Structure 1
Amino acid sequence: MAKSMDKPALAPHFRLTGALFGAFIADALAMPVHWYYDTAALAKDYGWVTDFAKPRNPHPDSILWRSRYHPLRPEADILHNQAKFWGQRGVHYHQFLEAGENTLNLKISQLLMDSLLEKEEYDQELYLDKYVAFMTTPGAHKDTYVEECHREFFKAWAPQKKTPAAHLPDEKHIGGLCLPLPLLLFFQDQWDKALQLAECHLELTHPGTLMRNALACFADLLHDILHGADVRQSLKKNRPKPLQLLCGYPFAELSSRADTDIARNVFSTACYIEQSLPLTLYLAWKYQDDPEQALMVNTNLGGDNCHRGVVLGALLGALHGEQAWPRRWMDGLAHPPTAFSQWLATRFKTDA
């Protein structure tokens, strides 16, 4: 049963920093059990996950043995010394990360934060320079796995043309929603601009109507919550049909059932946006008054819990502010988004 949290009126900057840290905490918490689909194996290997942990091999559900990436030219190499692990069984996707570290998509989202702080504006070329340099520099990150969206980008990428979206296949993975989140927070007081820029940014790696609709759904929920609605109030709204297909489920009725039943038999713990976003919103509905429990349940459901967690943590952090997150989690992040958080706090601080 979700515990009640007194929710005094929150100033905007507390909601924004709560959303930011919620995203990072949820991803780091889920990281060691990311893409476990056998929850019995997850429990055997890690117990009930409540704190940050270091991943370990073997990973029983790893698909690295059948994942492929062959750069078309030397400068498009994005695997570097991790390439030797591809094609092997049992290799953990994040095997070299430490407890409290974030996975690759959130590290890439930090590049966007850096570029926003540098220009105090969205400069796509600056971001792409940072992204390309980060991905093509050996040792820039320690993640073994690189998602398909990034592999497709660098298949289409050439140094003289850094925006290959027209040559990318339509995307369908919830991980894409991690990438434009900083824009929604940075420009939250210019919402039309925030949406336009977030969609342009998403298009760089996650083109397609389905992902645009998912972003619109997530952004609309986040906007409502940042402006005082709770999760359930926002989810009860009528939205255009393409968005309703993602968020228009009978969450109140579903919340009386076991989470594992909902995850396995109604939705799916896989990464595909048409199942993963509704599952995330189900968790946000059910645990809106207990954000700590929400992130633990999400983590222990396995599957693409890292990327579901980013969306879940952002929504519940926006609802409750930084007070949503235990001190052990706030302090345990290996690379917290401190500079961006401080900018948000300073820019949007009010006396409210």
Structure 2
Amino acid sequence: MVTSTDNQSRKKGAILGMYIGDALAMPVHWYYDRQALARDYGRVTGYLAPKDPHPDSILWRSAFTPVNAKADILHDQGRFWGRPGVHYHQFLKAGENTLNLKLCTLLLNHLQENDGYDGDAYLADYIAFMTTPGSHRDTYVEEYHRHFFNHYASGKPPRACGVVEKHISGIIGMIPLAVFFADDPEQARWAAFDHLGHTHLGARMQAAGELLLDVLLPVLAGEDIVDVIAEKVRRQDNPLLGHPLMRWLDDSDEIVVGRRLSSACYVEDALPATAYLALKYHDDVAQGLVANTNLGGDNAGRGAVLGALLGAANGHGAFPETWIEGLRHPPPELYGNMPV
């Protein structure tokens, strides 16, 4: 089955979906207590600003000690680490994106300026961005950044600073490359995995990246997302899809994501949970992203990936106009391969 959505609309939808899914989830990111989420925000159906305190925040037990000044990537946000109740994204505004998506903007600008992808040049951009005070206003900086910059500050070359990883956030940066090179799947895979390898190493991340591209690239080409995911489940050729997702579609989301699959950020649960939501809400982008947001946990990581998949499946016109207009920093426009 092939959708009627045109090629450029699918590409635009995938990029918009990343930003929308992340921005919707941002204020309730990493709420594991769903009753607390509902108490603090109600049912989230649009962009909201974060509130302090965050009852599930673990910044009170998070720490980062740079090996030297070259590794200082927390800047003025470092003073909030080690404190209870601090919201991970406390200074962001409604419709704003987390650091993961700010880095996607950096990557999209890189693709536009270079008319393609140069991994070494991107790494230079990444290092400059992360070491420049005020480049973003996010309080939380994920673990992989901290490892990368301690390695970099210790003298390792940029391409040798990645670590074995396990979080769904790692594959978000593959999406702009998959979209930009969608008409050349071989090039898309090479660039996406080269990018992943800068920061996220190991078998789990390799499997996660393969699953993402095995679904996203065919959907960008016009294949039906349900058919694509169902075939992946049937073939059992990826270790992250060893679940009877098709049989779970009649169950409540709260049972599937929370009991059968953890709502946490680890790819072995987060990516199957995202695939489940993509199957269930394959033709209703808004309902799917709202459902994901209110499930809590790493809803921002899942939301970025889910938004890209649903946007690719349905085109950019499937998103509510208020969500598109409400993005505080929408994705940059790219010319040539992918006009957004």
User: Fold-level match, TM-score > 0.5?
Assistant: yes
Q: Please name the residue that 2:214 is paired with.
A: 220
After superposition, the C-alpha distances for 1:126-162 in whole angstroms (9 at most, x for unaligned) are 2111111111111110000000011110011138644
Name the structure 2 match of 1:288: 282
Residues 290-338 of structure 1: CA distance to partner in whole angstroms, max 9, x if unpaired? 1100000000000000010111011110011011100000000011013
Q: Does 1:173 align with 2:199?
A: no
Partner deviation per Cα, 1:153-206 (whole Å, 9 max, x = no partner):
0011138644253x5431000000111211111111111111011111101111
Superposed displacement of residue 249, structure 1: 2.6
Counterpart of 2:76? Answer: 81
Aligned twin of 1:318: 312
**Residues 1:256 and 2:250 aligned together:** yes
Equivalences for residues 83-98 of structure 1 within 5 A: 83-98=78-93
Q: Measured at CA, do residues 163 and 86 of structure 1 come closer, stay the same or move farther in structure 2, by a change above 3 Å?
A: same
CA distance in 1, matches of 2:174, 2:226: 24
The answer on whether the counterparts of 1:246 and 1:278 sit within 8 Å (CA) in structure 2 is yes
What runs of 5+ residues in structure 2 fail to find an aligned partner? none
In 2: Cα distance, 1:345 partner to 1:25 partner: 18
CA contact (8 A) 2:289 2:306 kept: yes
Aligned to 2:23: 28
Percent of residue pairs identical: 49
Match of residue 114, structure 1, among 109, 112, 118: 109
Residues 159 and 113 (structure 1), Cα distance of their counterparts in 2 relative to 1, 3 Å cut: farther
Residue pair 1:298, 1:308 contacting (<8 A) in 2 also: yes
Q: Matched residues in 2 for 1:200 and 1:224: separation?
A: 20
1:182 aligns with one of 176, 196, 206: 176
Q: CA deviation at 1:219?
A: 0.6
Deviation at 1:268, TM superposition (A): 0.7
1:250 Cα deviation (Å)?
2.0
The yes-or-no answer on 1:143 pairing with 2:102 is no
In structure 1, what is the Cα distance between the partners aligned to 2:54 and 2:300?
Answer: 16
In 2, Cα distance between the equivalents of 1:74 and 1:143? 20
> Runs of 5+ in structure 1 lacking a partner?
1-6, 348-352
Distance 1:218 1:8 in 2: 19
Letter of the 2:311 partner, please give it: G
Q: How does 1:1-352 map to 2 (within 5 A)?
A: 9-158=4-153, 161-165=156-160, 168-238=162-232, 243-340=237-334, 343-346=336-339
Structure 1 residues 73 and 57 mapped into 2: Cα distance closer, same or farther (>3 Å)? same
Are the counterparts in 2 of residues 213 and 243 from structure 1 also a CA contact under 8 Å?
no
Question: In 2, Cα distance between the equivalents of 1:173 and 1:182?
Answer: 18
Equivalent pair of 2:26/2:98 in contact (CA under 8 Å): yes
Matched residue type, 2:50:
P
Tell me the distance in 2 between the aligned counterparts of 1:289 and 1:114: 30
Contact 1:217 1:243 in 2 (8 A): no
The answer to whether the Cα contact below 8 Å between 1:59 and 1:92 also exists between their aligned partners in 2 is: yes
Change beyond 3 A, Cα 1:99–1:328: same
- Alignment root-mean-square deviation, CA: 1.9
Letter of the structure 1 residue corresponding to residue 330 of structure 2:
P
Instruction: Report deviation, 1:227.
Output: 1.9
Separation in 1 of the partners of 2:123 and 2:191?
A: 14
Note the C-alpha offset of 1:245: 2.3
Deviation (angstroms), 1:229: 1.9
For the residue of structure 2 that corresponds to 1:228, the secondary structure is coil
Counterpart CA distance in 2 for 1:240 and 1:260 is: 24
For each residue in 1:55-100, what CA deviation from the matched residue of structure 2 results, as whole angstroms up to 9, or x when unmatched? 0100000010111111111121000111110000000000000110
Q: Write the distance in 1 (CA, Å) between the matches of 2:17 and 2:96.
A: 14
Distance 1:220 1:251 in 2: 17
Distance in 2 separating the partners of 1:238 and 1:102: 31
Q: 1:210 & 1:240 partners in 2: Cα distance?
A: 20
The 10-residue stretch of structure 1 (37-46 or 248-257) with the greater mean CA deviation from structure 2: 248-257
Deviation at 1:125, TM superposition (A): 2.1
